[in-house]
Amino acid sequence: MTERIEAVERAALVLRLLASGRRPFGTPELARATGLRDRSLHGILGTLVTAGLVERDPATGKYRIGASLLHLSNGGIDTNELRARSLHSADTLAARSGASVWIATPHEGTALVVHHVFRPDDSAQVLRLGDRLPLHASAVGKTLLAFDHELDVPEKLPALTDRTLTERAALAAELYEIRRRGWAASVDEHIPGTTAIGAPLRDASGRTVGALSIAGPTSRLTEAGRARPHLAAEVTDAAGEIGEALRR
């Protein structure tokens, strides 16, 4: 009979719960959902944080899946290397654009955020590391669909806002335009009032291994309902810098 290790089972329970949500969890929520006592839960979380499998947002004290586990879940893509080679360019892009910066890779029919740089201001922000963004309604998602030839357009294209593309023909036309101009935009398509602009990240072989985007208020990132061209240029330039770093 297979030996069961209770501590491992409890840690797996916590990881499954964190992986199931699109938002971070506080300790009280985790305790209620798992039925674990505070002392046991704090010990498990501390161990998982030390191992890099879970990350704690210092601003909110809440927990989400960590970078090491994201790396394990992404198969052949070395997420740690992608993040390491992207740090300087991502930080610089956030400073220049005044927007949040996200790096995402494909994962189980979504765009998985593996790196997040906060906006360089004093506004309240939530760490989005580990979020799974819709391929058809996010800038990183549409970037991956346009440039990663191994990805298929999802069968279902749910409406997340009144701007979301829900018809396959309309999405196909949008992806063609993205490939033509080299960058993607999501204007109020994922979250009302939020715009994102994305570009592909390519490795030494030219394969698209991820997507880079900025995100922020639509009023700041658009003009006449379209992404501001100078911001799109900043994103594509930063993506090119990261690509050069990946090719070294």
Q: Can you tell me the mean pLDDT for 117-146?
A: 92
Residue type, 75: G
Q: What is the 3-state secondary structure (H, E, C) of the chain?
A: CCCCCHHHHHHHHHHHHHHHCCCCECHHHHHHHHCCCHHHHHHHHHHHHHCCCEEECCCCCCEEECHHHHHHHCCCCCHHHHHHHHHHHHHHHHHHHCCEEEEEEEECCEEEEEEEECCCCCCCCCCCCCCEEECCCCHHHHHHHHHCCCCCCCCCCCCCCCCCCCCHHHHHHHHHHHHHHCCEEEECCCCCCEEEEEEEEECCCCCEEEEEEEEEEHHHHEECCEECHHHHHHHHHHHHHHHHHHHC
The distance of Cα 126 from the centroid of its chain, to the nearest Å, equals: 13
| CATH 1.10.10.10 segments of the chain | 6-65
Question: Long-range CB contacts (< 8 A, 24+ apart) of 94-97?
Answer: 94/118, 94/119, 94/120, 94/214, 95/120, 96/234, 97/214, 97/216, 97/231, 97/234, 97/235
CATH number attached to the domain at 6-65:
1.10.10.10
**pLDDT 10s digits, 65-104:** 775 666 555 444 467 778 888 999 999 999 999 999 999 9
Residue 138, pLDDT > 70, answer yes
**pLDDT 10s digits, 20-54:** 654 678 888 888 888 888 888 989 998 988 887 88
**What is the reported pLDDT for 36?**
87
**pLDDT 10s digits, 216-233:** 999 999 999 999 999 999
| Topology (CATH) of 76-247 | Beta-Lactamase (3.30.450)
Write the CA distances from 137 to 44, 149, 178, 197, integer angstroms.
36, 18, 13, 12
Residue type, 73: S
Q: In what order do the strands lie in the sheet with 132-134?
A: 132-134, 110-117, 100-107, 208-217, 194-202, 184-187
Burial (CB < 10 A; 0-12, 13-18, 19+), residue 3, is: exposed
Cα gap 220→182, rounded to integer Å? 21
Average of per-residue pLDDT values in the chain = 89
Cα gap 69→18, rounded to integer Å? 11
pTM: 0.72
| CATH 3.30.450.40 segments of the chain | 76-247
